Structures are given as C-alpha cells and as structure tokens.
C-alpha cells in the first residue's frame, strides 16, 4: 500500500491533479450545501453546461479552458439570477439561458472538431481530463476558490436566513436579490472549477453529491459544509488514484476517466448517507420509548 502511494505521488501528473482536485472539492463541497438548501441543483447543472461554451471559445482562442469556463459561467449565472427573482421564474430563466448557451456551445464544439490539432478538446471539456491540466493554472484555481469561499463567509448569516426562510428574511429587510446574485457568483465559480476535474457534463457531481450526503448526516450548516468538503476530498483523491491505476486495466494502457470514479464514489457516499441515519434512528427509538 505504501509503495503504491509513493509511486502515485512520484508520477509527474498526479501531484498537480491532487492539488487542483482538492481545491475544487473543498470549494464545491462548501458551496454545495447552500445549493441543496436553496433548491438550486438545476441551476448548478445548467451552469456546467453553460461553461462548455466558454471553454470551447477559450480553446479556440488558445487560452486555458478554466478562464472560459469561469468567465461565461459567471455571466450565465448572473443572467439566470437577474432574470428570475422567484424560484419559478428562476427555473424559466435557467432554461432560456441554458438553451441559448448550448446552441452557441454546439457551434463552437463543431468548429473544434474541424481543427486537426483539437481532436481531444471536446472530450476534455465535456468529460474532464485532470491529468492533462496545465499545472500553471493551479494559482488561478486557488484564487478563484478563495474568492468563492470569501463570498460565502461574507454572506453567511443573510445567506443562511434567506436559504432556510426566504419570506421571513425578506420581512426582516434582507436584500434577497443582492444575496442571490453574490451567491450565484460563488456557485458559478465552484461549478466551472469542478468542470476541470469531472468535465462539464458531470461537474455537478462534486457540487450536489457530497453536500446532499452531508445534509443527511447533520442538520448544522457549518458542520454540513465541513463534512461535505471532506467527502468531496475523499471522492477526488480516491478517484484520481483509481484512474491512475486503471492505466494497467483493460482495454490496456489507456486508463479510465477519473470522472467515472468520482461519480461512482459520490453515489456510494450518498447511498451510505441514506442508509446509516435510518439504522441509527431505529436503534435509538426503542430506548426513547422506554424512557417515556
């Protein structure tokens, strides 16, 4: 086991992948708790698809995909939040913005397939390729992650209030639209960074899965955010290790996508979260009845 870990860390592509993946997992885990509380999973999924357009544009322009993901993702998120003030309006706005950006993204991906030197570009954007990510973007990823977490720290009290009881928050004078816009900025950053690890199509796996599991294990928002970040870290680190090891699995010297392992691990965490609390409740309930 120690030998495997040493060989894993010695690989030149693994250490940067683990560092970038860890930053993304923590950010997505913390932001994801509020996404679950606010019922904005659809918006999170849409932002991943919207970021595809930006990543394709960046790729065609010779820029790192990260800047395209985040740039267009932030614009799309602000458009969704600005067009839909209420939950029902937000879903409609999400559908409209998503349709437009998917159409543009499909055109840009088509242009990419026509370039002889971009055959792997669409696959990397849609499904992720953490082992081929340029280590030089580690600093921008860290800065984007820091920005998203600082936004959440700044918004924490009004965001919790607005997420748990929006009507009461509005009655108390909480600026719901301002809080929503700033949170959407943090959400867009988390989703688009996650696309680097799991791809645009599966970017919400790290956003929703660990958070949904954490919320089932604890009702305290701070504890849920910490647990969600930990579950995301576990899924990313084990997923990267399995993807690295899969190079020696069939079909032979190609390797399986890391996004597959991450999604599988996130699903396992969620299934355990659904099972364990129910068993614990059944064990405690008879004792409470006896005490009564």
Domain ranges of the chain: 2-291
Q: Tell me phi and psi for residue 119, to 5 degrees.
A: -65, -30
Q: Which is more confident, 14 or 251?
A: 14
Mean pLDDT (whole number) for 191-202: 83
State the pLDDT at residue 1. 61
* 64-106 residue pLDDT tens: 888 999 999 999 888 888 776 665 667 788 888 888 888 998 8
Answer whether the bond into residue 170 is a cis peptide, omega within 30°: no
The share of the chain scoring above pLDDT 90, in percent, equals: 34
State the pLDDT at residue 94. 83
* 130-171 residue pLDDT tens: 887 888 888 999 999 999 999 999 999 999 998 888 888 888
Mean pLDDT (whole number) for 32-61: 89
Burial (CB count <10 Å: 0-12, 13-18, 19+), residue 269: buried
Q: Tell me phi and psi for residue 101, to 5 degrees.
A: -70, -35
Residue 114 has pLDDT above 60, yes or no: yes
pLDDT bucket at 292, cuts 50 / 70 / 90: very low
What CATH architecture does domain 2-291 belong to? Orthogonal Bundle (1.10)
Contact 217, 203 (CB under 8 A): no
Residue 60 has pLDDT above 50, yes or no: yes
SS3 of residue 165 by DSSP: coil
């Amino acid at each position: 086991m120690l030998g495997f870990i040493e060989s894993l860390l010695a690989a030149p592509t693994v250490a940067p992948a683990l560092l970038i993946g860890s930053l993304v997992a923590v950010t997505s885990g913390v932001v994801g708790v509020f996404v679950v509380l606010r019922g904005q999973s659809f918006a999170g999924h849409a932002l991943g698809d919207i970021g595809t357009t930006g990543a394709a544009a960046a790729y065609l322009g010779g820029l790192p995909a990260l800047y395209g993901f985040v740039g267009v993702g932030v614009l799309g998120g602000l458009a969704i939040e600005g067009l839909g003030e209420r939950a029902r309006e937000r879903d409609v706005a999400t559908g409209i913005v998503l349709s437009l950006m998917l159409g543009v993204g499909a055109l840009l991906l088509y242009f990419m397939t026509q370039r002889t030197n971009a055959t792997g570009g669409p696959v990397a954007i849609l499904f992720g390729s953490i082992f081929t990510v340029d280590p030089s973007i580690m600093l921008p990823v860290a800065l984007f992650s820091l920005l998203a977490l600082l936004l959440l720290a700044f918004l924490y009290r009004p965001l919790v209030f607005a997420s748990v009881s929006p009507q009461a928050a509005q009655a108390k004078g909480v600026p719901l639209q301002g809080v929503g816009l700033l949170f959407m900025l943090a959400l867009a950053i988390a989703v688009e960074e996650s696309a680097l690890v799991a791809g645009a199509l599966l970017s919400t796996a790290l956003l929703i899965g660990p958070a949904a599991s954490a919320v089932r294990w604890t009702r305290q928002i701070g504890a849920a955010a910490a647990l969600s970040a930990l579950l995301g870290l576990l899924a990313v680190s084990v997923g990267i290790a399995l993807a690295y090891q899969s190079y020696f699995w069939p079909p032979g010297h190609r390797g399986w996508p890391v996004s597959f392992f991450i999604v599988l691990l996130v699903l396992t965490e969620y299934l355990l979260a659904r099972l364990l609390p129910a068993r614990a409740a059944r064990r405690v309930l008879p004792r409470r009845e006896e005490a009564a």
